[in-house]
Amino acid sequence: MPKVASNYDPPLFFKNGHFATIYSGIIRSVNGVVQKRERLQLSDGDFLDLDWSDSVVPSDKLVILLHGLEGDGQRPYITGSAKILNQNGYDTCAVNYRGCSGEPNTKYRSYHSGATEDLIEVIEHILNTRDYKELYLKGFSLGGNLLLKYLGEGNTIPKEMRGAVAVSVPCSLHSSCEQLLSAKNVLYAQRFKKNLLDKLRQKQQMFPDKISDNDIKQIKTLKDFDDVYTSKAHHFDDALDYYEKCSSKQFLPDVSVPSLIINALDDSFLGPACYPHQETDQNPFLYLETPRYGGHVGFWGKNNITYTEKKAVDFFNTL
């Protein structure tokens, strides 16, 4: 599918990718979204918390929202998406990954960029308990990678699944990791690592036989975290094996649901391999938009509606 031309042209301050990223992640706030929480018991005995918000009118259309690394269902990029989708006739279900809803999950494992088995259970639960005729997916960063992997890795995609939007997607996890380990991203990486280590220490208290003080002391970078915890807890050989097997880029040729990927060129989290030009050129179901500006999950917009929030509504409405 030919590339999607982008007309995103924000004010001067938001043409700085770092400012756009920080504003969206720390400064922005969204009001007026009413969420109702449901706990989903998973087949392995663990749980996920789902945060539902309803359309302003009764709807048979649902958008499943997937947050990024160390996010949750209350992040402004999630509630902002829910708000505009609710205003345009879509219910939303924001998925909090394992351990991301404010309460530790019960298993040693947690979530990761390729944990599509949990997304499958969420979708099956929705179809078994709700009466939606149309389902859509919208994911950010890690959540974008997750949904694209789900759509292309050979799962049985329900007929109700009509489309997807993935924003700021690290389609190549290794390429993204290399960027996060670079000097330009040191503050972001430190913030992520602190949050992840806090959770890992909780895991240590719950499972003292699985993680030692010495293991935790070895973690100096985000890649170290994936070597010490993510890979071992989720049955990968090491961090590189995890990145290779869970990167969505390899699954894009087999995506058969209309899907829009929006990756800003000034996104400091994304390396060259995260812009899947060849894959989208060769698959008529894939649309790739690469705005010059936007940062990572930034994309400031007027009236506190981001460019990608409006774009997702427009895309879903055309399907």
SS3 188: helix
What are residue 260's DSSP bridge partners?
165, 287
Question: Parallel, antiparallel, or unpaired for β 91-96 and 61-66?
Answer: parallel
From the CA atom positions of the chain, what is the Rg in Å?
Answer: 18
Helix orientation angle between 173-180 and 239-246, rounded to the nearest 10 degrees: 130
pLDDT for 65 = 99
In angstroms, the Cα distances linking 39 to 76, 98, 135, 237 are 21, 11, 20, 32
Say whether 222 sits in a helix, a strand or coil. Answer: helix
The Cα 189–Cα 132 span in angstroms is 39
Q: CA quadruple 194, 198, 203, 205: dihedral positive or negative?
A: positive
First to last CA, the chain: 15
Query: CB-hemisphere CA count at 13 Å for 150?
Result: 30
**pLDDT at residue 3, rounded to an integer:** 75
Q: Please tell me the predicted confidence (pLDDT) of residue 2.
A: 58
pTM of the model: 0.97
Question: What pLDDT is recorded for position 4?
Answer: 86
Write the DSSP string, 28-75. Answer: --------EEEEEEPTTS-EEEEEEE--SS--SEEEEEE--TT--TTS
Are 146 and 114 in contact by the 8 Å Cβ rule? The answer is yes
Q: Which residues does the chain have with pLDDT short of 50?
A: none
Tokens of 210: 């699985």
